[in-house]
Structure 1
Amino acid sequence: MRLSALIIRLISLVVTFFGVAVVVFVLVRVAPGDPIAMMIGPGASPQDIADLRALYGLDKSIPLQFLIWLGHVVRGDFGTSISLRESVTEVVFGRLPATLELAFLALAIAVVIGGFMAILAARWRGTATEAGVDLFNGIALSVPDFLWGLTFILLFGVAIPIFDISGRVTPTLELPFVTNFFLIESIVRLRFDLTLDLLGHMLMPAMALALPLAAVISQILKTSLKEVMHQDYALIARTKGFSETYVLLHEALRNAVTPSLTVIGVQFTFLIGGTVIVERLFSYEGLGNLAIDAVINRDLPLIQGIVLLFAVIFVGVNLAVDLCYVALNPKLRHG
């Protein structure tokens, strides 16, 4: 990617981020409900309410509030949570690792399932196997992630209780964590008892998030594989006596993955957004669960901080995908 193109892309990301900041700031303030009225007691005097509004800067005009808030955001200060009385930055980044671990586990599951289904369908194209894969894709994609979550709770949490359906980790365990990346740290510390416990809590919400994404990956990769299998290099490999499976895995797969990369990146951002409802279903202590609490409590600084962080993740993932796509495609790299 040329330097000028990269600079233009970075500028567009800054403009996007600013636009998101304006929209979320205005929307949370014109929405009905007064956060001060929700946090103050019924016997408070008008002066108490006025003092509290002044404390959180809500007594100023919306444009002035935005400029003051934006100035703090540029310095990394997202304000103080109205409901939690803590720094928004500390609260948000304290919950972010849990959501990232859940999202990446869901992505890994989706890539494995989707890739396996696509390879099956491409290998036995035109048979009942491909029809079965298409049926799986249709069902997995038509059922939303939160409904998958409810199904898993009923099946594996109630009917056959083999997985935990609430929380992130069993509280009674010894938790010697230094960071909030519990899963990663448990592996590094060789505390595999904690690793298994964490995975036991994460597996069902991760599967609920992964299945719709797996269907998308399967369909896109299957289409790419079927196209690549008719290319010249695949035909040449067949004439050399290589089996169809060898041609698929060693010749076609590496060329078919690249077109799927952009789709996976875009879908991953939607997957992170989907954690909001799924985390609530499983009482998972992540950013999505925190977002719902912030909306219920009309916690304006916390809502703004969470939405902006989601926006940063969205634009960051898309930029990373673009760079990876260019790195894997020499024509774009030198174009």
Structure 2
Amino acid sequence: MILNRLVLRLLTIAATLLGVAVVVFVIIRVAPGDPIAMMLPPGATDDDIARLRALYGLDKTIVQQFFIWLSGVLHGNFGTSISLRQDVMTLVLARLPATLELSTFALLIALLIGVPLAVLGARERGTAMEGAIDVVNGAVMSIPDFLWGLVLILLFGVLAPIFYISGRVSPDINLQFSTQFYLIESILRLRFDVTRDLMGHMVLPALALALPLAAIISQLLKMSLKEVITLDYVTLARVKGFSETQVILREALKNAALPTLTLVGVQFTFLIGGTIIVERLFSYEGLGNMAIDAVINRDLPLIQGIVLIFALLFVLINLTVDMMYALLNPRLRHG
């Protein structure tokens, strides 16, 4: 059952990525603006324009350009950035770890906030405490992540400058990183001073991304808990003398968490997409910040590479969540 599900999802992933590649390739080429004109200085001749168009393959039809690009992608070649004059895959892989670390940190913050609030709301169901939690969740969800970023910059970067509000790491840090996963590498190399600096740069953008997700997790998990705690096996646990908190944590939470797992996976993909604006807001050196520069400069190969990598991340995360749900759900596991 799980193997068949995996094969079906892999076929779906291939079709999805092909569809994304076609749509993005066509849209960015029919959009107004000429990337070659942006590269050339004033007074460039028609021959200069023609040579650059030929260099980047823009002198061919859209269909020819697409199949040339797709053939390169299948061989691991995403082309050369028009604005940066570097290999697209090298640029993307250099920025992707920063975005993954930021997104994962934001997800952990969201879980640390959302799960305790859900448990508290379920334990205090029917009271003013539950109503207050619902009001807070609704207010937090109604504010987008980039606006939370502006609020956090004002609070902790201007009024009370506790955290960094720009960059990924301080320029005076004396550590030659071997990989682009700075946070993980600093921990493995026991350079906790560097870890603190990296966390100081990450905490505000991560919190801006995490707050709306934490409210969603809290609301859905609380609803699932309120459904589960009415079941017979939970009632039996109460008869055995467990406190309400023990009943929720030991008996109800593991079953109520399954629907939330699916939501977390879906929302995590949106969270990664949300890093585009938040990274720009905090000048964080991630893939989202690079995506905005690529759009401004009409860097077609770089835009295509970034979008395709984002799409690949989305489908892989959804695949992972789907497989985890199948493994954790006994009915699907033994079906």
Which TM-score tier does this pair reach, normalised by the shorter chain? over 0.9
What residue in structure 1 maps to residue 58 of structure 2? 58
CA RMSD, Structure 1 to Structure 2 (Å):
0.7
Aligned to 2:205: 205
Q: How far has the Cα of 1:241 moved from its partner?
A: 1.1
Match of residue 318 from structure 1? 318
Equivalent pairs counted in the alignment come to 335
Partner of 1:133: 133
What do residues 25-79 of structure 1 show as CA deviations (whole Å, max 9, x unaligned)?
A: 0001000000000011112111011000000000000000000000000111100
DSSP 3-state at the match of 2:152 = helix
TM-score by structure 2 length? 0.99
Other-structure match for 1:284: 284
3-state SS, counterpart of residue 8 of structure 1: helix
Aligned-pair distance for 1:255? 1.1
- Worse-matched range after superposition: 246-255 or 287-296: 246-255
Once the 2 structures are TM-superposed, how far is the Cα of residue 173 of structure 1 from its aligned partner? Answer: 1.2
Q: How far is 1:200 from its partner?
A: 0.5
Aligned equivalents of 1:2, 1:175: Cα separation in 2: 45
| Larger mean Cα displacement after TM superposition, 23-32 or 173-182 | 173-182
In 1, Cα distance between equivalents of 2:191 and 2:286: 22
What is the match of residue 83 of structure 2? 83
Q: What residue number does 1:118 align with?
A: 118
Deviations 1:98-153 (CA, angstroms, capped at 9, x unpaired)? 00000000000001100011011011111121111111111110000000000001
Q: What secondary structure does 2:193 align onto? A: helix
Query: In the alignment, which residue of structure 2 is the partner of 1:28?
Result: 28
- Distance in 2 between residues matched to 1:252 and 1:31, nearest whole Å: 52
Pairs within 5 Å for 1:30-45? 30-45=30-45
Residues in 2 aligned to 1:2 and 1:265: alpha-carbon distance in whole angstroms: 18
Residue ranges of structure 1 left out of the alignment (5+ in a row): none
Instruction: Indicate if the aligned counterparts of 2:95 and 2:287 stay in contact, CA closer than 8 A.
Output: yes
Residue of structure 2 equivalent to 1:188: 188
Structure 2 residues not aligned, in runs of 5+: none
CA distance in 1, matches of 2:249, 2:2: 33
Aligned equivalent of 2:151: 151
Distance 1:70 1:117 in 2: 47
Q: Which residue of 2 aligns with 1:8?
A: 8
- Tell me which residue corresponds to 1:236: 236
Matched, 1:221 2:221: yes
Partner of 1:163: 163
Which 4+ runs in 1 deviate beyond 6 A? none
Deviation at 1:5, TM superposition (A): 2.9
16-25 vs 242-251, greater mean Cα deviation: 242-251
Shift of 1:2: 3.8
Would you say the 8 A contact 2:225–2:252 is kept in 1?
yes
2:82–2:301: 8 Å Cα contact kept in structure 1?
yes
- Give % identity: 67
Amino acid in structure 1 at the alignment position of 2:296: I
User: 1:296 matched to which residue of 2?
Assistant: 296
Question: Structure 1, residues 242-290: CA drift from partner, whole Å, max 9, x if none?
Answer: 1111101100111111111000000000000000000000000000000
Maintained 8 Å contact 2:92/2:287? yes
1:232 is matched by which residue type in structure 2?
D
> What amino acid is aligned across from residue 27 of structure 2 in structure 1?
L
TM-score (norm 1): 0.99
- What pairs with 1:68-107 in structure 2 (closer than 5 Å)? 68-107=68-107
The secondary structure found in structure 2 opposite 1:27 is helix
More deviation in 182-191 or 6-15?
Answer: 6-15
